[in-house]
Chains A and B, each alone.
Chain A
Amino acid sequence: MRLIFDKSVPGRRGVRNAGGDVEGEVSIPQHLLRERPAELPELSELDLMRHFTELSRRNFGVDTGFYPLGSCTMKYNPKVAEHIAQYPGFANLHPLIPQFPGGEMMVQGALAVLKEMDRLLSEICGMAAFTMQPLAGAHGELTGAMIIAAYHRSRGNQKTTILIPDSAHGTNPASAAIAGYDVKAVASDANGAMDMAALRAVVDDGVAGMMLTCPNTLGLFNPRIKQVADLIHSVDGLMYYDGANLNALLARCRPGDLGFDIVHLNLHKTFATPHGGGGPGAGPVGVVERLVDFLPTSVVRERLDGSYYLDYDRPKSIGYVAPFYGNFAIILRAYVYILMLGREGLLRASENAVLNANYVLARLKDHYDLPYNRRCMHECVFSASRQAASGVRAFHIAKALIDRGIHPMTIYFPLIVPEAMMIEPTETESKETLDAFVDAMIEIADLARDDPEQVVGCPRTTPVGQLDETLAARKPDLVSLPAVEGQDGR
């Protein structure tokens, strides 16, 4: 499909600017101005609508079809939340208003949303307080790692290392490293849980903390999680809960009760805000009582008269991690979702998420290898090693699903499972959808055995086939720039 720049027609205009009520010449001296306008496309509004509508048809979202992308919790995104996020009382609110005297009273509704979410998420996670500032899950991890560092500084501890299970997602080690820590991996045992002997071997006074998901990335709950926490606490380390998999535990089990000290949540996973094709997300961080003073500045507080204010006077805080109060319009969507589910709905969400995953596991386990043959929580991890023997890898199975109208599962992760296929159905999918998925997976397994060529060549129904990623990396073509000679120095 042609680029938008190639559809440009000189002189054509889309929207018209208002503002002709003031005339005047620009008073800025010539040497501060650009020589030529930037070569942006020149299209009519209709040209543009057709371009982007065509692009949208080359995309696949949760509203298009089943999206069992493991670890990403692609549940349905309620439309009412999209509607509410556009209320002018929120959408037009300038974030600097509460930063000057009298301004707080002009944003009481917004501060109420932030404070209510703090209270709700604290209750759901068993934490003392939450900050809404982190702008995505990984940003929450960085915030959490900075809180770990601030805690140890305040105690005069000399800590250098953060422990992370070998099954962890890549963001965990990356976040710990960016916060200034060394990272040590802890092996998993034959049951897919953390190997306690391996853990004991690496826990020493240099350990600042441990980051992990629970259930882990294999979709398994570690029944000894409390012992892990006790061990880390015995060296004054902190337990960090990566909330990627909280959907399994909602309203049944709280990270705080399991011994965790810091939690980040991915609102675009557990709390149904749309992922946007790569954000915006939101990654609120909660902490136990002894860490509250380290939370980012500002925090929302309630006065005795019930009004809210922003507290900036927090000497032990790690400071600003976002320009303002977080991705507010995302937090608002998650707030809508939690209000609609209520305590009963939260419990039903985790129950149905776990039921759906176990149903898929039960129906597929005769057809694919199951590296850890146990009940799973909200997702299950299969291996395509049996199929790989006949040349059909997890990659090919993923592409074959595309031809059957299904978004592939997560593949090649977790790293400790060869040819991993990580399937997370979520609670919002129906039995019929799961059956159609399972039938497709069984059909592909049969083809892999009987006629592997049928699988390896997929997808065949998409506007482009398998793309040459090696070429893309070796000869990067990353931007389209105007070819006209002398334009903007090129």
Chain B
Amino acid sequence: MPFIANTKAQREQMLAAIGSESVEELFADIPPDLQCGELNVPPGLTEQEVRTRIAALADRNSGGLISFLGGGFYDHFIPAALDAIVSRSEFYTAYTPYQPEISQGTLQAIYEYQSAICRLTDMEVANASLYDGGTAVYEAIMMALRVTGRRKVVVDETVSPIYRKMVRSYTSNLGIALVETPAAEGLPDRDAVAEQIDGDTAAVIVQNPNFFGCIDDVTDLAELVHQRGGLLVVSCYPISLGLLKPPGQMGADIVVGEGQSLGMPLSFGGPYLGLMASRLKYVRKMPGRIAGRTVDARGRKGFVLTLQAREQHIRRERATSNICTNEGLCALRALVYLSLLGKEGLVELARICAAKADYLRGRLLAVPGVTMRFGHRSHLNEFVVNLPMAADKVIRGLFGRGLAAGFPLVRYFPEMNNCLLVAVTEQRTKEDMDFLAHSLEVILCG
């Protein structure tokens, strides 16, 4: 049998030591009428067979499209050194580091990851990760409710519509007031947000760059919400922080984000990485694992999981969150990725993406009938174009030419029927972008 070591002779010796006649007898506590018959599961496959079978399934996916899809999930290049490190099985076959003396690798990596995230976002403390960017928004809301003792949350429409749907699911049973404010030309509408901030508002949630790729300075929103005693939560795209003003400098109290772009393959939706950082004064209200540095009896420095009085295994129903297993290996990926790029490399990467997006925008706008949506806003690597016809029809046509040209926004914004959300990363070459512009022109103009 696969992955089972004991031989028949050994099993008999073990049964004798137990004093049992048979393996069946070990299951005597289960009443016979509750035991099932043979499962309708196919017989086992060898490694060779399973590889052949799954390779055939992989071939039924279009992994080879030239992709301009983003929407919060980007195909940045992943260096080989990253996979070499995370495939060391001392990292990936370990459990949560409950025994610090033999988990210093994981624990120091978490501490370094927390530090890197704080340096990137300009915040004071970060946790060891949450599941993804969407659950991170939800956890930030729960954290803000705990910090303020209030019951109302304001989420701007420019926050990912996927995350807004998730937040609606999670909060539906909690009796809190969840308000979504309409955007004004691609950015949060200051008046609409201000109108919703009152003495019961725990938090305002914004995203930067937002779902439409527009860049904002939300310092004024931070001041607005702070005046009424609430918190500002900013969801960020970490690669953008190579160039953009970090949320911490804009007055954010809690920063969250999807960390997928920091070295995680797209993998059809996961595993990804939920980032969370905050002001130090709120750390005891934070969800999730946190590593800290301390010393042993001989004064040697080492790392442990700390502030565990917040967590479910101690606090049970009064815990700050139910999370235990998080995205540890993904956090390691993010740390290695940020370290491989380094201080100057991340700046350069963000610059390259911005330059490419500028180039592509120029090429697309040269196609007759294509115009910019929210063109007077600033963008990094993602922007919205208006097409002269329904965007999902255009997308279908471009599929045939091996292109995933972007995301038609109509799915989440019914009034944006002709709008296409287009993203670039450093992986899209000039040739790819020229090909997209050319193909679009062929489809639109015949």
Neighbour of B90 across the interface among A64, A324, A346, CB < 8 A: A64
B45 near A323 with CB under 8 A, answer: no
Stretch of A55-63, A196-204, A382-390, A441-449 contacting B (4+ beta carbons < 8 Å) = A55-63
CA distance A408 to B97 in the complex (A): 11
Chain B residues contacting A343 (CB-CB under 8 Å) are 38-44
Smallest Cβ-Cβ distance to A461: which chain B residue: B101
**Docked complex: A432-490 residues within 8 A CB-CB of B:** 433, 459, 462-469, 471-473, 476-482, 488-489
**B residues less than 8 Å from A112 (CB atoms):** 57, 60
Q: How far is the CB of A166 from chain B (nearest CB, A)?
A: 11
In the complex, B312 has a CB within 8 A of chain A: yes
Say yes or no for B227: interface residue by CB 8 A criterion: no
User: How many chain A residues have a CB neighbour from B under 8 Å?
Assistant: 211
The interface on chain B, measured as residues whose beta carbon lies within 8 A of the other chain's beta carbons, has a size of 217
A362 within 8 A of B: yes
Cβ of A286 within 8 Å of any chain B Cβ, yes or no, is no
B184 beta carbon closer than 8 Å to chain A? no
A29-84 contacts to B, CB under 8 A, are 29, 31-35, 37-43, 45, 48-49, 51-53, 55-64, 67, 69, 72, 74-78, 80, 82-84
A482 engages B119 (CB within 8 Å) = yes
For B337, give the chain A residue with the smallest CB separation. A15
CB distance A276 to B329 under 8 Å?
yes
**Interface residue ranges of A74-126 to B (CB < 8 Å):** 74-78, 80, 82-97, 99-103, 106-110, 112-113, 120, 123-124, 126
B87 at the A/B interface (Cβ < 8 Å)? yes
Contact A344 B43, CB 8 Å, known A336-B54, A488-B119? yes
CB A468 to nearest CB in B, in angstroms, measures 5
- Contact A344–B217 (Cβ < 8 Å): no
Q: Are A180 and B175 in contact (CB under 8 A)?
A: yes
Q: Are A464 and B300 in contact (CB under 8 A)?
A: yes
- Is A252 on the interface with B (CB-CB < 8 A)? yes
A402 to B97 CA separation, bound complex (whole angstroms): 13
Contacting pair B6 A113 (CB below 8 A): no
Q: Which residue of B lies closest to A141 (CB)?
A: B322
Of B23, B98, B300, B341, which contacts A351 at CB under 8 A?
B23
Contact check, B111 vs A479: say whether CB atoms are below 8 A apart: yes
B378→A108 contact, CB < 8 A: no
When A407-B99, A430-B5 are in contact, do A88 and B169 touch as well, CB less than 8 Å? no
- In the assembled complex, the CB of A461 is this many whole angstroms from the nearest CB of chain B, namely 9
Instruction: Determine whether A187 belongs to the interface, using a CB cutoff of 8 Å to chain B.
Output: no
Decide if B291 is an interface residue (CB 8 Å cutoff). Answer: yes
Q: Is B126 an interface residue (CB 8 A)?
A: yes
A33-B243, A251-B39 known; A319 and B125 CB under 8 Å? no
A467 touches B354 (CB 8 A): no
How far, in whole Å, are A78 and B124 apart by their CA atoms in the complex? Answer: 39
Q: A37 and B404: CB pair below 8 A?
A: no
Contacts of A169 in B (CB 8 A): 313
Cβ contacts B114-141/A at 8 Å (1 or 0 each): 1110111010111011011111000000
Q: Are B61 and A341 in contact (CB under 8 A)?
A: no
CB distance from A218 to the nearest CB of B (A): 12
Produce 1/0 per residue, B365-386, CB < 8 A to A.
Answer: 0000000000000111000000
- Contact between B173 and A479 (Cβ–Cβ < 8 Å)? no
8 A Cβ contacts from B79-125 to A: 79, 81, 83-85, 87-106, 108-112, 114-116, 118-120, 122, 124-125
Shortest distance in angstroms between B219's beta carbon and chain A's nearest beta carbon? Answer: 9
Q: Residues 1-15 of chain B: 1 if any A CB is under 8 Å from the residue's CB, otherwise 0?
A: 111111000110111
Counting CB contacts under 8 A, is A339 at the interface? yes
B58 and A478 within 8 A (CB): no
Check B101–A174 contact: CB distance below 8 A.
no
Known: A5-B115, A354-B26. A488 touches B325 (CB 8 A): no
Asked whether B321 is an interface residue with its Cβ less than 8 Å from the other chain, the reply is yes
1/0 per residue, CB under 8 A from B, across A317-361: the answer is: 011111111111110100110111111111011011011101101
In the complex with contacts A93-B63, A174-B315, A359-B17, A34-B93 CB distance below 8 A: no
Tell me if B339 and A472 are in contact (CB < 8 A): no
B294 touches A471 (CB 8 A): yes
Q: A351's closest neighbor in chain B, by CB?
A: B23
Residue A393 is within 8 A (CB to CB) of chain B in the complex: no
Nearest opposing residue in chain A for B69, CB measure: A94
In the assembled complex, A21 has its CB within 8 A of some CB on chain B: yes
When chains A and B are docked, how far (Å) is the Cα of A43 from the Cα of B339?
Answer: 7
CB of A179 within 8 Å of the partner chain:
yes
**Measured between C-beta atoms, what is the minimum distance from B38 to chain A in Å?**
6
Q: Check A326–B111 contact: CB distance below 8 A.
A: no
Q: Does B437 contact A (CB under 8 A)?
A: no
Q: Does A190 contact B (CB under 8 A)?
A: no
Question: Is B296's CB within 8 Å of the partner chain A?
Answer: yes
In the bound complex, do residue A32 and residue B217 qualify as a contact, i.e. CB atoms below 8 Å apart? yes
Contact of A342 among B36, B41, B142, B426 (CB under 8 A): B41
A56, A90, A428, A463 — which one has the most chain B CB atoms within 10 A of its CB? A56
A153 to chain B, nearest CB (A): 8
B104 touches A80 (CB 8 A): no
Any B CB within 8 A of the CB of A396: no
When distances are taken between beta carbons in the complex, the residues of chain B under 8 Å from A38 are: 119-120, 122, 241-242, 246, 343, 346
Supposing A268-B325, A278-B97 touch, asked if A478 and B306 sit within 8 A by C-beta, the answer is yes
> Do A466 and B101 touch (CB < 8 A)?
yes
Contact partners of B180 in chain A: CB under 8 A? none
**A138 close to chain B: CB less than 8 A:** yes
Q: How far is the CA of A53 from the CA of B19 in the complex (A)?
A: 46
Is B148 in the interface zone, CB < 8 Å from A?
Answer: no
Q: Which of B302, B324, B429 contacts A464 (CB 8 A)?
A: B302
Q: How distant is A294 from chain B, measured CB to nearest CB, in Å?
A: 11
Quote the shortest CB–CB distance from B440 to chain A (angstroms). 16
Q: Is the CB of A3 within 8 A of B112?
A: yes
Q: Give chain B nearest CB distance to A330 CB in angstroms.
A: 6
In the bound complex, residues from chain B placing their C-beta under 8 Å from that of A23 are: 355
Residues in B neighbouring A263, C-beta threshold 8 A: none
Q: What are 7 sample pairs from A and B whose C-beta atoms fall under 8 A apart? A: A62-B94, A80-B50, A135-B270, A138-B322, A277-B329, A280-B330, A430-B10
10 closest A-B pairs by CB = A324-B269, A89-B58, A342-B44, A278-B328, A276-B329, A61-B93, A319-B169, A280-B271, A59-B105, A109-B60
